[in-house]
Amino acid sequence: RSKILSQKDRNRMEAIEIINYFKSLQDQICDGIAKADGQGTFKEDVWTREEGGGGQSRVIQHGKILEKAGVNFSAVHGPLHPKMVTSLDIKEEVDFLATGVSIVMHPFNPWVPIIHMNVRYFELSNGQNWFGGGIDLTPHIIIPEQAKWFHQQLKSACDLFDPMYYPTYQKWADDYFYSPHREETRGIGGIFFDYLKSNTAEEKENTFDFVKKIGESFVPIYSHLMQLNADKPFGQEEKDFQLLRRGRYVEFNLVHDRGTKFGLETNGRTESILMSMPPMASWEYMYDSSQFPEGQKTINLLKKGVDWLA
Protein backbone atom coordinates (compact mmCIF):
# COMPACT_ATOMS: atom_id res chain seq x y z
CA ARG A 1 0.00 0.00 0.00
CA SER A 2 2.78 2.41 0.88
CA LYS A 3 4.38 1.77 -2.52
CA ILE A 4 1.10 2.55 -4.29
CA LEU A 5 0.71 5.78 -2.33
CA SER A 6 4.32 6.67 -3.05
CA GLN A 7 3.77 6.17 -6.77
CA LYS A 8 0.63 8.30 -6.64
CA ASP A 9 2.57 11.00 -4.83
CA ARG A 10 5.30 10.85 -7.47
CA ASN A 11 2.74 11.11 -10.25
CA ARG A 12 1.14 14.09 -8.56
CA MET A 13 4.50 15.82 -8.14
CA GLU A 14 5.34 15.19 -11.81
CA ALA A 15 2.00 16.63 -12.90
CA ILE A 16 2.53 19.75 -10.76
CA GLU A 17 6.01 20.17 -12.25
CA ILE A 18 4.60 19.95 -15.79
CA ILE A 19 1.76 22.39 -15.03
CA ASN A 20 4.18 24.89 -13.48
CA TYR A 21 6.50 24.58 -16.46
CA PHE A 22 3.69 25.35 -18.91
CA LYS A 23 2.73 28.37 -16.80
CA SER A 24 6.30 29.64 -16.97
CA LEU A 25 6.42 28.94 -20.73
CA GLN A 26 3.38 31.16 -21.24
CA ASP A 27 5.16 33.95 -19.34
CA GLN A 28 8.35 33.49 -21.37
CA ILE A 29 6.54 33.53 -24.72
CA CYS A 30 4.36 36.53 -23.87
CA ASP A 31 7.37 38.53 -22.67
CA GLY A 32 9.43 37.66 -25.74
CA ILE A 33 6.69 38.29 -28.30
CA ALA A 34 5.59 41.59 -26.69
CA LYS A 35 9.21 42.74 -26.89
CA ALA A 36 9.46 41.67 -30.55
CA ASP A 37 6.20 43.46 -31.40
CA GLY A 38 7.42 46.64 -29.75
CA GLN A 39 3.99 48.06 -28.98
CA GLY A 40 1.38 45.45 -28.12
CA THR A 41 0.76 44.22 -24.60
CA PHE A 42 -0.97 41.01 -23.64
CA LYS A 43 -4.25 41.39 -21.79
CA GLU A 44 -4.94 38.49 -19.45
CA ASP A 45 -8.25 36.74 -18.94
CA VAL A 46 -8.27 34.27 -16.04
CA TRP A 47 -11.02 31.67 -16.20
CA THR A 48 -12.22 28.63 -14.30
CA ARG A 49 -13.84 25.45 -15.54
CA GLU A 50 -16.95 24.34 -13.67
CA GLU A 51 -15.96 20.66 -13.86
CA GLY A 52 -12.45 21.34 -12.54
CA GLY A 53 -9.39 23.50 -13.20
CA GLY A 54 -9.09 26.54 -15.43
CA GLY A 55 -6.51 28.67 -17.16
CA GLN A 56 -5.45 32.05 -18.38
CA SER A 57 -5.75 33.44 -21.88
CA ARG A 58 -3.51 36.29 -22.97
CA VAL A 59 -4.21 38.25 -26.13
CA ILE A 60 -2.59 41.12 -28.01
CA GLN A 61 -4.93 43.09 -30.26
CA HIS A 62 -3.73 45.94 -32.51
CA GLY A 63 -0.03 45.72 -31.75
CA LYS A 64 2.63 47.19 -34.00
CA ILE A 65 3.30 43.97 -35.94
CA LEU A 66 0.61 41.67 -34.61
CA GLU A 67 -3.02 42.36 -35.40
CA LYS A 68 -4.10 39.58 -33.05
CA ALA A 69 -2.01 37.14 -31.05
CA GLY A 70 -3.08 34.72 -28.35
CA VAL A 71 -1.18 32.57 -25.86
CA ASN A 72 -3.39 30.22 -23.84
CA PHE A 73 -2.44 28.24 -20.75
CA SER A 74 -4.81 25.71 -19.22
CA ALA A 75 -4.82 22.97 -16.63
CA VAL A 76 -8.18 21.24 -16.43
CA HIS A 77 -9.33 18.03 -14.78
CA GLY A 78 -12.38 15.97 -13.93
CA PRO A 79 -14.34 13.00 -15.25
CA LEU A 80 -13.39 12.01 -18.77
CA HIS A 81 -15.96 13.21 -21.31
CA PRO A 82 -17.88 10.40 -23.08
CA LYS A 83 -16.50 11.47 -26.46
CA MET A 84 -12.97 11.12 -25.13
CA VAL A 85 -13.79 7.75 -23.58
CA THR A 86 -14.92 6.57 -27.01
CA SER A 87 -11.94 7.99 -28.89
CA LEU A 88 -9.44 6.46 -26.46
CA ASP A 89 -11.34 3.13 -26.32
CA ILE A 90 -11.34 3.11 -22.51
CA LYS A 91 -13.50 0.50 -20.79
CA GLU A 92 -13.40 1.95 -17.26
CA GLU A 93 -14.50 5.16 -15.57
CA VAL A 94 -11.49 7.44 -15.18
CA ASP A 95 -10.67 11.04 -14.41
CA PHE A 96 -8.27 13.07 -16.50
CA LEU A 97 -5.83 15.95 -16.24
CA ALA A 98 -4.91 17.99 -19.31
CA THR A 99 -2.50 20.92 -19.35
CA GLY A 100 -0.63 22.84 -21.98
CA VAL A 101 0.04 26.02 -23.89
CA SER A 102 -1.54 26.90 -27.24
CA ILE A 103 -0.53 29.82 -29.47
CA VAL A 104 -1.74 31.42 -32.70
CA MET A 105 -0.49 34.73 -34.11
CA HIS A 106 -1.96 36.80 -36.93
CA PRO A 107 0.17 39.74 -38.18
CA PHE A 108 -0.83 42.92 -40.04
CA ASN A 109 1.74 42.67 -42.82
CA PRO A 110 0.97 39.92 -45.38
CA TRP A 111 4.68 39.10 -45.59
CA VAL A 112 4.77 38.07 -41.92
CA PRO A 113 3.47 34.49 -41.57
CA ILE A 114 0.81 33.10 -39.28
CA ILE A 115 2.28 30.74 -36.72
CA HIS A 116 0.73 28.11 -34.45
CA MET A 117 2.22 26.10 -31.62
CA ASN A 118 0.77 23.73 -29.06
CA VAL A 119 2.52 21.72 -26.37
CA ARG A 120 0.45 19.61 -24.01
CA TYR A 121 0.32 16.81 -21.45
CA PHE A 122 -2.57 14.46 -20.74
CA GLU A 123 -2.94 11.87 -18.01
CA LEU A 124 -5.63 9.49 -16.79
CA SER A 125 -6.29 8.29 -13.27
CA ASN A 126 -5.58 4.71 -14.46
CA GLY A 127 -1.91 5.66 -14.89
CA GLN A 128 -1.80 6.35 -18.64
CA ASN A 129 -0.12 9.59 -19.68
CA TRP A 130 1.36 11.14 -22.80
CA PHE A 131 2.70 14.34 -24.38
CA GLY A 132 1.70 15.95 -27.66
CA GLY A 133 2.23 19.11 -29.60
CA GLY A 134 3.88 20.72 -32.56
CA ILE A 135 4.66 23.96 -34.33
CA ASP A 136 3.71 24.92 -37.87
CA LEU A 137 3.95 27.97 -40.10
CA THR A 138 1.34 29.38 -42.48
CA PRO A 139 2.85 32.10 -44.68
CA HIS A 140 0.27 34.12 -46.57
CA ILE A 141 2.95 34.38 -49.28
CA ILE A 142 5.65 31.72 -49.13
CA ILE A 143 9.26 32.89 -49.18
CA PRO A 144 11.20 29.67 -49.93
CA GLU A 145 14.44 30.63 -48.17
CA GLN A 146 12.50 31.50 -45.01
CA ALA A 147 10.56 28.24 -45.24
CA LYS A 148 13.89 26.40 -45.40
CA TRP A 149 15.22 28.33 -42.40
CA PHE A 150 12.09 27.54 -40.37
CA HIS A 151 12.32 23.83 -41.06
CA GLN A 152 16.04 23.84 -40.31
CA GLN A 153 15.35 25.28 -36.85
CA LEU A 154 12.88 22.48 -36.15
CA LYS A 155 15.22 19.80 -37.49
CA SER A 156 18.06 21.09 -35.31
CA ALA A 157 15.82 20.96 -32.23
CA CYS A 158 14.60 17.45 -33.07
CA ASP A 159 18.08 16.13 -33.85
CA LEU A 160 19.20 16.86 -30.29
CA PHE A 161 16.93 14.01 -29.21
CA ASP A 162 16.55 11.58 -32.12
CA PRO A 163 17.46 11.92 -35.83
CA MET A 164 14.16 10.23 -36.73
CA TYR A 165 12.04 12.82 -34.93
CA TYR A 166 12.12 15.48 -37.65
CA PRO A 167 11.28 13.28 -40.68
CA THR A 168 8.61 11.43 -38.69
CA TYR A 169 6.96 14.48 -37.15
CA GLN A 170 7.35 16.58 -40.30
CA LYS A 171 5.36 14.01 -42.28
CA TRP A 172 2.81 13.85 -39.45
CA ALA A 173 2.39 17.63 -39.73
CA ASP A 174 1.95 17.40 -43.51
CA ASP A 175 -0.78 14.80 -43.05
CA TYR A 176 -2.49 16.61 -40.18
CA PHE A 177 -2.44 20.20 -41.46
CA TYR A 178 -4.14 19.30 -44.71
CA SER A 179 -7.56 20.33 -46.03
CA PRO A 180 -8.94 17.51 -48.17
CA HIS A 181 -11.81 19.66 -49.40
CA ARG A 182 -9.25 22.11 -50.86
CA GLU A 183 -6.60 19.52 -51.63
CA GLU A 184 -3.98 21.76 -50.08
CA THR A 185 -1.89 21.99 -46.93
CA ARG A 186 -2.69 24.78 -44.47
CA GLY A 187 0.80 26.20 -44.90
CA ILE A 188 4.36 24.88 -45.05
CA GLY A 189 3.84 22.51 -42.13
CA GLY A 190 6.43 21.99 -39.44
CA ILE A 191 6.28 19.17 -36.90
CA PHE A 192 3.35 17.49 -35.17
CA PHE A 193 3.38 14.69 -32.61
CA ASP A 194 0.81 13.12 -30.32
CA TYR A 195 0.33 10.27 -27.83
CA LEU A 196 4.04 10.16 -26.93
CA LYS A 197 3.84 7.63 -24.13
CA SER A 198 6.71 6.51 -21.91
CA ASN A 199 7.48 3.12 -20.42
CA THR A 200 9.98 4.39 -17.85
CA ALA A 201 10.57 7.52 -15.76
CA GLU A 202 13.70 8.20 -17.83
CA GLU A 203 11.74 8.06 -21.10
CA LYS A 204 9.11 10.40 -19.70
CA GLU A 205 11.76 12.90 -18.59
CA ASN A 206 13.41 12.75 -22.01
CA THR A 207 10.09 13.33 -23.78
CA PHE A 208 9.32 16.23 -21.46
CA ASP A 209 12.74 17.72 -22.28
CA PHE A 210 11.90 17.44 -25.99
CA VAL A 211 8.56 19.19 -25.45
CA LYS A 212 10.38 21.93 -23.52
CA LYS A 213 12.86 22.39 -26.37
CA ILE A 214 10.06 22.82 -28.90
CA GLY A 215 8.20 25.24 -26.62
CA GLU A 216 11.28 27.33 -25.98
CA SER A 217 12.09 27.50 -29.70
CA PHE A 218 8.96 29.56 -30.36
CA VAL A 219 10.19 33.04 -29.44
CA PRO A 220 13.54 32.85 -31.29
CA ILE A 221 11.87 31.46 -34.41
CA TYR A 222 8.89 33.79 -34.64
CA SER A 223 10.57 36.98 -33.43
CA HIS A 224 13.15 36.48 -36.20
CA LEU A 225 10.43 36.11 -38.84
CA MET A 226 8.53 39.10 -37.45
CA GLN A 227 11.54 41.38 -37.60
CA LEU A 228 12.60 40.08 -41.01
CA ASN A 229 9.27 40.85 -42.69
CA ALA A 230 7.34 43.45 -40.68
CA ASP A 231 8.65 46.45 -42.64
CA LYS A 232 8.32 44.98 -46.12
CA PRO A 233 6.12 47.12 -48.36
CA PHE A 234 2.82 45.68 -49.56
CA GLY A 235 -0.18 46.81 -51.57
CA GLN A 236 -3.84 45.94 -51.94
CA GLU A 237 -3.08 42.75 -53.88
CA GLU A 238 -1.01 41.34 -51.02
CA LYS A 239 -3.60 42.41 -48.45
CA ASP A 240 -6.47 40.84 -50.38
CA PHE A 241 -4.53 37.61 -50.72
CA GLN A 242 -3.73 37.64 -47.00
CA LEU A 243 -7.45 37.81 -46.19
CA LEU A 244 -8.18 34.91 -48.54
CA ARG A 245 -5.43 32.81 -46.94
CA ARG A 246 -6.85 33.66 -43.52
CA GLY A 247 -10.18 32.36 -44.78
CA ARG A 248 -8.56 29.04 -45.63
CA TYR A 249 -7.01 29.01 -42.14
CA VAL A 250 -10.48 29.42 -40.62
CA GLU A 251 -11.83 26.60 -42.79
CA PHE A 252 -9.17 24.20 -41.61
CA ASN A 253 -9.64 25.06 -37.94
CA LEU A 254 -13.41 24.70 -37.98
CA VAL A 255 -13.73 21.77 -40.37
CA HIS A 256 -10.68 19.61 -39.71
CA ASP A 257 -8.78 20.59 -36.58
CA ARG A 258 -9.36 17.90 -33.96
CA GLY A 259 -8.62 20.16 -30.99
CA THR A 260 -11.06 22.86 -32.08
CA LYS A 261 -13.85 20.40 -32.85
CA PHE A 262 -13.31 18.41 -29.68
CA GLY A 263 -13.25 21.53 -27.52
CA LEU A 264 -16.50 22.85 -28.95
CA GLU A 265 -18.20 19.45 -28.77
CA THR A 266 -17.23 18.88 -25.13
CA ASN A 267 -18.30 22.20 -23.64
CA GLY A 268 -14.84 23.73 -23.69
CA ARG A 269 -14.30 27.44 -23.19
CA THR A 270 -15.42 28.94 -26.50
CA GLU A 271 -13.48 32.22 -26.28
CA SER A 272 -10.20 30.39 -25.70
CA ILE A 273 -10.88 27.76 -28.37
CA LEU A 274 -11.74 30.36 -31.02
CA MET A 275 -8.81 32.58 -30.08
CA SER A 276 -7.08 31.02 -33.11
CA MET A 277 -9.39 32.83 -35.51
CA PRO A 278 -8.04 35.89 -37.37
CA PRO A 279 -9.66 39.27 -36.72
CA MET A 280 -10.61 39.58 -40.40
CA ALA A 281 -10.80 37.07 -43.26
CA SER A 282 -12.48 36.83 -46.64
CA TRP A 283 -13.89 34.37 -49.13
CA GLU A 284 -14.17 35.26 -52.81
CA TYR A 285 -16.33 33.13 -55.06
CA MET A 286 -14.25 31.32 -57.73
CA TYR A 287 -11.10 33.23 -56.86
CA ASP A 288 -8.66 33.28 -59.78
CA SER A 289 -5.19 33.06 -58.23
CA SER A 290 -3.53 33.71 -61.58
CA GLN A 291 -4.40 37.39 -61.17
CA PHE A 292 -1.76 37.59 -58.41
CA PRO A 293 1.39 35.71 -59.52
CA GLU A 294 3.00 35.69 -56.05
CA GLY A 295 -0.18 34.13 -54.69
CA GLN A 296 -0.20 31.52 -57.43
CA LYS A 297 3.38 30.55 -56.53
CA THR A 298 2.26 30.05 -52.94
CA ILE A 299 -0.76 27.92 -53.89
CA ASN A 300 1.50 25.75 -56.06
CA LEU A 301 3.59 24.94 -52.96
CA LEU A 302 0.70 24.01 -50.68
CA LYS A 303 1.29 20.29 -51.12
CA LYS A 304 2.31 17.36 -48.97
CA GLY A 305 5.83 16.04 -49.29
CA VAL A 306 7.67 19.25 -50.19
CA ASP A 307 11.31 18.94 -49.12
CA TRP A 308 11.78 22.38 -47.61
CA LEU A 309 15.37 21.59 -46.66
CA ALA A 310 16.45 20.82 -50.23
Within 108-166, strands assigned E span: 114-124, 129-138
Compute the residue count for the chain.
310
The per-residue b/e assignment along 195-232, b for 16 or more CB within 10 angstroms, e otherwise, is ebeeeeeeebeebbebbeebbebbbebbbebbeebbee
Rounded to an integer, what distance in angstroms lies between the CA atom of residue 271 and that of residue 44? Answer: 13
Known catalytic membership, residue 256? no
Rounded to an integer, what distance in angstroms lies between the CA atom of residue 298 and that of residue 293? Answer: 9
**Are the CB atoms for 84 and 205 separated by under 8 Å?**
no
Q: How many Cβ atoms sit within 10 Å of the Cβ of residue 280?
A: 13
Q: Active-site residue among 62, 81, 106, 116?
A: 116
Rounded to an integer, what distance in angstroms lies between the CA atom of residue 25 and that of residue 17? Answer: 12
End-to-end CA distance of the chain: 57
Q: Active-site positions? A: 116
